[in-house]
A and B are shown apart, each in its own frame.
Chain A
Amino acid sequence: MNSASASVGPSDFRILLEGQAGKLLRWTQPGQTRTVWLNVAAIAIGAGLYGGAMGWWRDPLQGLYVAIKFPLIILLVVLGNALLNSMLAPLLGLNIGFRQSFFAILMSFAIVAAILGAFSPLVAFLVWNAPPMTPDVKSTPTYGFIKLTHVAVIAFAGIAGTVRLFQLLTQLGGSKTVARRVLFAWLAGNLFLGSQLTWIARPFIGSPQLPVVFLRDTAFQGNFYENVFRTVAGLLQFD
C-alpha cells in the first residue's frame, strides 16, 4: 500500500488551499491516484454547488442542470487541453511530464472549485432574497447585481487558482520567468477552450422567456468568438 497515497483525505483540502507547494509536488508523483480523485471530487462538489446556486434563481431544475454542467466544463477543459498543455510546458522550458502538467492544472481548478463551493451558500442566499425572475428581469438592478456578483466571485476564485498554479510551476521549474511563460500559455489555451465550452453549455442563469433545458437547441450552432466578433462589428457599424 502506498502510504503517501493513503494519507490523502478530505483534510488535505487545506494543503490544496494553502498551496503548500512541497506537498502538492508530492501529489504529482506516480502512484498518487487518490489525489486525482480528491481534486475531481473538489471540482464536482465545489463547482456543482456553485452552479446549483447560480441556476436556482430561474428554477430548481435549472439549478440541477447547472450543477452538472459547471463541473463538467471544468473537467472537459482539463482533459481537452491536457495533451497540448503537456507539450507546451517542455517547449517553453519547463521539463515536466504529462502527469505533472495534468495534475498541476487539475489542482488549480480544484482550488477554484473549492473557493466557488465556499461562496455557494452566499450566492444561494442572495438568490433566495431576490425577487422571482420576470420577463423584464434583464432591465432590473437585481439582475445586474446578481450577474456582477457571479463575475466577482468567479474572478476571485480564478485569480486564487492562478496564483497557486504559478507557485507550483515555480517550484517545479525553479524559475519565475519560465513559470510565467508556461502559465500564460496554459491560461490562454484553457480560456480559449473554456469560453467555447461555456458557450455550448448555456444557459446558466437562465431566462424567463425560454424553457428550462440542459442544453439549448442551438448549443452547437455558432461559437463564442463569432458572437463577440459580430457584436463588435455591429457596434462599429453604428446602425
Chain B
Amino acid sequence: MNESNPTGPLIPPQIPTPPSPGHRTDRPLGELPDERETIPNAVAAIEAILRQPRRVMYQLRQPGAGGLIAGMLFVAVLCSVVYGVGVGTFSGGVQLWAAPIKTAGGLLISALICLPSLYIFACLSGSQARLVEILGLVAGLMALMTILLIGFAPVAWLFSQSTNSLAWMGTLHLIFWGIATVFGLRFLNADFSHTQARSNAGLNTWTAIFVLVVLQMTTALRPIVGTADTLLPEEKKFFASHWVECLKLPKPAARD
C-alpha cells in the first residue's frame, strides 16, 4: 500500500562532501571530533583509510600509533596475499602459493628498501615527521593500494580464466596496480602535506623511485603471472627488457 507522506517527500540530509585524500587543505588534523576517534582494529583501519583518511593521518601522529601501523601492514599483507592468489589462478599449480608469497613479499621488500630514502627526503624537505610517522605513511600507502587491488580481484580473476595470453594478463595486472598506486600515492601526498615540509620535490623524487623499485621487483621475483622451471629467476634483467621479451612471446594457438 502506498502511504502518502503529509510532510512531503522525505529527503535525507545531504552528506557533506569531504575533501578527497589527494586534496590539500590547511585545516589542521584532528580539528573535527571524528578525526580524533581512535582506530581500534584492522577492519576499522580499512574503513578509515577509504572514508576518513584524515582520521588515519591524525592517529598516525598520536602516541601509540604502532598498533595502527601494524594493523595497516597486516591489511596490506593479507590483501596482497588474496590478490596474489587471484594472480596465481592464471597459471595454477605452484603459482597458487608462489604468486601470493611473491606479491606480498615483493611489496613489503619494496617498501622496506624505499623507507630510508623517504625519511631522508622528508628531512631534506624540512618535514618534522619522525621515522615512525614515515613508516605510517608507507603502511597507509601499501594498505590503500592493496585494498583497492582486492576490489579489482574479481575482474582480474575473470580475465585470467578467459585468456592464455601472458602479455595480456601481465598488462592487466600492471594497469590495476597502476590505478591502485595512484590512489595510494594521493594518500601519501596528502599526509605528507601535514608534516610541515617546505617542498614536495623530495616526495616527487621518492615517488618515482618507489614506482621503479616495485616495477623492478616484478622482474626480480619472476615468474609471478606465468610459469618457469625455477621459482626465482636465474638471469638478472631490467624490467623494461623483460616486459618487451614477454610481449614478443609466441601468440596462443589460433581459435575459431
Q: Which residues of A contact B (CB under 8 A)?
A: 3, 6-7, 9, 11, 20, 22-23, 25-26, 29, 80-81, 83-88, 90-96, 171-175, 178, 189, 192-193, 196-197, 199-200, 218-223, 225-226
Contacts and interface: CB of A to CB of B under 8 A. Distances in A.
B159 A223 contact: yes
Given A80-B158, A84-B155, A192-B155, A221 B164 contact: yes
Interface residues of B, number: 38
B1 A174 contact: no
B56 to A, nearest CB: 13
A87 B164 CA distance: 30
Interface string B149-183: 01110110011011111001000000000000001
A81 B50 contact: no
B21 A91 contact: yes
Given A91-B183, A223-B162, 13 more contacts: A9-B2, A80-B158, A85-B151, A87-B148, A91-B148, A92-B20, A93-B17, A95-B17, A173-B15, A196-B155, A220-B162, A222-B164, A226-B163
B110 to A, nearest CB: 22
B162 A193 contact: no
A87 B14 CA distance: 20
Nearest to A185: B179
Interface stretch (B3-11, B62-70, B98-106, B133-141): B3-11
Nearest to A174: B14
Contact of B17 (A94, A200, A220, A222): A94
B161 A220 contact: yes
A22 B162 contact: no
Contacts of B155: 80-81, 84, 189, 192-193, 196
Contacts of A178: 17
Nearest to A178: B17
B93 interface: no
Given A91-B183, A193-B155, A221-B255, A172 B1 contact: no
B19 A93 contact: yes
A81 B151 CA distance: 7
B154 A80 contact: yes
Nearest 6 interchain pairs by C-beta: A84-B151, A22-B11, A93-B20, A22-B9, A80-B154, A220-B162
